[in-house]
Amino acid sequence: MIPLAVVASSQVCPLRLGWAAALPSPRARLRFMSTEASPDPLAAIEAKVERGERLTAADGIALFESPQLLRVGRLADQVRRGKAGDDVYFVVNRHINYTNVCRNRCRFCAFSRDEGEPGAYTLTVEEVLAKAGEALAEGATEIHIVGGENPRLPYADMRAMVAGIRRMAPDVHIKAFTASEIACFAEKEGVTPEAILRDLKEAGLDSLPGGGAEILSQRVRAAVCPAKISGEEWLAIHETAHRLGLRTNATMLYGHVETVAERVDHLLRLRELQDRTGGFQAFIPLAFQPGRSALSHLPGPTGVDDLKTLAVARLLLDNFPAIKTYWVMTGIKLAQTALFFGANDMDGTVVEEVISLLSGADYGQAMPKAELIRVIHDVGRPAVERDGAYRVLRRYEPPGDKEAEV
Ligand code: V47
């Protein structure tokens, strides 16, 4: 008899982790009950976590397949508390998406346009600097710049954006350009990604955002983003950045055509690179927004899937200091709940993020700092303002017991 047929089946079916899909079918449940393997796959994982033992791919799959969301969440919460404490980080930042003209036209992306197509836009260097200037005046300590892969844009303009912001603000953290944009600049200039990274670092770049990772598996990339750099290239560019002393983030775009096994493989490949370099600062799961994309027929992840994905990431990525919940793609209420499922960072004040907006996410584009602090305090934990390099700028302790104040 094959134990845990439920797990095996997940490796070939596209993932839909609503309660209905997360619960084994009645037939599978019968098989499950009659198997001689442990009737409680989570117990062995809990014991491993208790012993500080690293989880395997099979453990990751079992966690995703478990219908016991609260139990998985409790385990992730316990690990979060041990590793990162109770502080919840946030950053006062501003996203600037300098162009949506992109040669890749990934199927999940509703942001990209062809040159000249209605809705296509490209900001000038001056416009980018003006937006950065506004953000700095409003107290932003991190500027997050990403855009489409537009080979017609001169690389010199990309460098000028970074150098210009650095001139305006010697201390602001500049997090810019996904690995796939770096590859595009390198191709255009006829140099290596390493040469581009060195040059941008010299201009003032501090870190790379985690975008463009999608799902690292080539099967998924061939289906949803065939023109984009491979998973191996994405990892190699981050490895090079780490070697040059640039910190980076990692994302995973989930809830489209990937399987559980492909999510787990993605997480373990990130963990393996982090073992070698220690250069990742944060992992950010990105909930797929089907809205206006070419994959709009897909339903997108459920809230259960959002929370479970975050929790499994916390459990598998045992060498990542920060697991970030990105409210722009899940809504602030679910992001707040995510703080009980392994997250210790809530991004951010954001201000203007066009990628999710054009995808149909309607959770808002800006969050006042006071509101972020209120939402974090409501979970009973300190809100800690950090900069882009996770240096603590200011702590906001939660107000005392409200009843006691009355
Ligand atoms: O690279 C595109 C993804 C990314 C959709 O590093 C979509 O701190 C959901 O990477 N539904 C951009 N996601 C956002 C990103 C990010 C966000 C916040 C913080 C950080 C960080 C990075 O958004 C893209 C792509 O992977 N994306 N389309 C969509 N329809």
How does residue 367 score in pLDDT terms, banded at 50, 70 and 90?
confident
Domain boundaries, the chain: 19-84, 88-396
- Measured from the Cβ of residue 25, the count of other Cβ atoms closer than 10 Å reads 14
The fourth-level CATH superfamily of domain 88-396 is Aldolase class I (3.20.20.70)
Residue 390: both structure tokens together: 């996770």
Residue 346 and residue 331 in contact, taking contact as beta carbons nearer than 8 Å:
no
Dump pLDDT digits (tens) for 142-154.
999 999 999 899 9
How many Cα atoms within 13 Å fall on the side-chain side of residue 203?
22
Mean pLDDT of 187-212: 98
Q: Indicate whether residue 254 lines ligand 1 (CB < 6 A).
A: no
Q: How many whole angstroms from 189 Cα to the centroid of ligand 1?
A: 26
Give the C-alpha distances (Å, rounded to integers) separating 393 from 15, 334, 369. Answer: 40, 26, 13
Query: What would the two tokens of residue 329 be?
Result: 């793609």
Task: State pTM to two decimals.
Answer: 0.90
The atom number, within ligand 1, closest to the CA of 108 reads 30
Q: Is the CB of 359 under 6 A from ligand 1?
A: yes
For 269, residues 6+ apart whose C-beta sits below 8 A from its C-beta are 216, 231, 235
Q: Is the peptide bond before 119 cis (omega within 30 degrees of 0)?
A: no
Q: Quick one: CA torsion of 164, 165, 169, 170, rounded to 10 degrees?
A: -70
Average pLDDT over residues 32-60: 84
Confirm or reject: Cβ of 180 under 6 Å from ligand 1: no
Mutate to test the pocket of ligand 1, among 326, 355, 363 (most ligand atoms within 8 A of CB): 355
Residue 57 Cα to ligand 1 middle (Å): 25
Task: Say what the alpha-carbon torsion angle 148, 149, 151, 152 is, to the nearest 10 degrees.
Answer: 0
The CA 342 to ligand 1 mean position distance, Å, reads 20
Q: pLDDT tens across 87-140, in order? A: 999 999 999 999 999 999 999 999 999 999 999 999 999 999 999 999 999 999
Q: How much distance in Å is there from the Cα of 313 to the middle of ligand 1? A: 17
- DSSP symbol at 252: E
Q: Which helix (H) or strand (E) holds 392?
A: strand 392-396
Mutate to test the pocket of ligand 1, among 253, 329, 344, 349 (most ligand atoms within 8 A of CB): 253
- Cα–ligand 1 centroid distance for 211 (angstroms): 5
Q: Could you give the percent of the chain with pLDDT greater than 90?
A: 83
C-alpha span between 103 and 114 (Å, rounded) = 7
Q: Does residue 336 line the site of ligand 1, with CB under 6 A?
A: no
pLDDT of residue 213: 98
Pocket mutation for ligand 1, best pick of 104, 107, 215, 251 (most atoms within 8 Å of C-beta) = 251
147 lines ligand 1 (CB under 6 A): no
Residue nearest to atom 13 of ligand 1 (CA): 288
Q: Is 283 in the pocket of ligand 1 (CB under 6 A)?
A: no
Span from the CA of 286 to the centroid of ligand 1 (angstroms):
6
What is the signed CA dihedral for 259, 225, 173, 246, rounded to 10 degrees?
80
Per-residue pLDDT band at 39 (split at 50, 70, 90): confident
Any atom of ligand 1 within 6 Å of the Cβ of 330: no
Nearest atom in ligand 1 to 178's CA = 1
Strand, helix or coil at 187? Answer: helix
**Mean pLDDT for the stretch of residues 224-232:** 98
Question: Which ranges constitute the DSSP H helices of 204-279?
Answer: 218-224, 231-243, 260-277
Q: What is the mean pLDDT of the chain?
A: 89
What residues have CB less than 8 Å from 188, skipping those under 6 apart?
151, 155
Mean predicted confidence (pLDDT) in 219-246: 98
